[in-house]
Amino acid sequence: MSNSFILRDRDRGHDLIRSDGTRSSYIAGHPDGFVTRASSFNFHDYQAGRPGFGPIRVFGDEVFHGAGCGYNMHPHHNFVICAFVLQGELTHLNTAGAGVVDQLRQGDYYVFSAGSGGKHSELSVSPEDMNAIYIWLMPNQLYRPPAYHRAHFDYRRRRDCIEQLVGDGDGALPVPQDIRVSRLVTDAGKSFPYRLRSTAHGVYVFVLEGSVKLNGTELGRRDSSGIWDVEQVELTATADATDVMIVETLMIDDDKIKKWETEQAHH
């Protein structure tokens, strides 16, 4: 018997963080700048009323408003952070390897494995709003060497197929976890089966734009659903220019997650 949940856009955690100086060690930008964040799961400040999904602790839909807004340099370790830019330009500085200064625009995405320890800063330098999806996940091994990879998804050329962006697929960015992040851009009336690696895996489907039926359940813009203990799911677009993120991962026992969160509480 399958297990599932539905998370509507209105039921996500919605937060507004102002760049007014009260959190200047973390939030960058002029006094009129601010970050809006909609969260699918619970993790520290990311709150949505749902636990994580497998090793995923954060699925954040964030917008940086105002020139220079974003996050000042801050540390991570034993986390993998992925960002998928939907709008605007993201300037990303990180300390992996010899250090990287990267500029990402619509369709660009990165995987930053902080591993044994790394720092990064994420800023929207221009006045245009920057919108990105952030996914944080636990690695399958602690204290790996930090690593950074980036790529581009061309939604105009890669339509009508489920394109793997992160994981072990051809051309996908590597990630130290049993997880695959894919994207589907298509039009109304087109259906696509997605077969999971095993019934021990689950799939989290998030609608960026448009609408889909997932196993017969209608999901609108920014709605999402998690399903596990199934062999396959069926996605049918019900609007033109529908854009969907599909995240498949090995499910993890809740007790193991709680133990890991306790150990990583200050990191």
pLDDT in tens, 82-129: 999 999 999 999 999 888 999 999 999 999 999 999 999 999 999 999
Range of the domain at 183: 3-265
CATH code where residue 109 lies: 2.60.120.10
pLDDT (0 to 100) of residue 1 = 65
Residues 6+ apart with CB under 8 A from 68: 28, 29, 30, 33, 123, 124, 125
pLDDT in tens, 22-52: 777 788 988 889 999 999 999 888 888 888 9
pLDDT (0 to 100) of residue 21 = 74
Q: Is-contact 171 165, C-beta < 8 A? A: no
Pairing of strands 69-76, 118-124: antiparallel
pLDDT (0 to 100) of residue 84 = 98
Instruction: Answer whether residue 266 shows pLDDT above 70.
Output: no
pLDDT (0 to 100) of residue 22 = 73
Tell me what the mean pLDDT of segment 132-152 comes to: 96
pLDDT (0 to 100) of residue 18 = 92
pLDDT (0 to 100) of residue 202 = 97
Question: pTM of the entire structure?
Answer: 0.93
pLDDT (0 to 100) of residue 43 = 87
Distances 176 to 54, 195, 262, 264 between C-alpha atoms, Å? 14, 22, 21, 18
**Percentage of residues in the chain with pLDDT exceeding 90?**
82
Number of domain units in the chain: 1
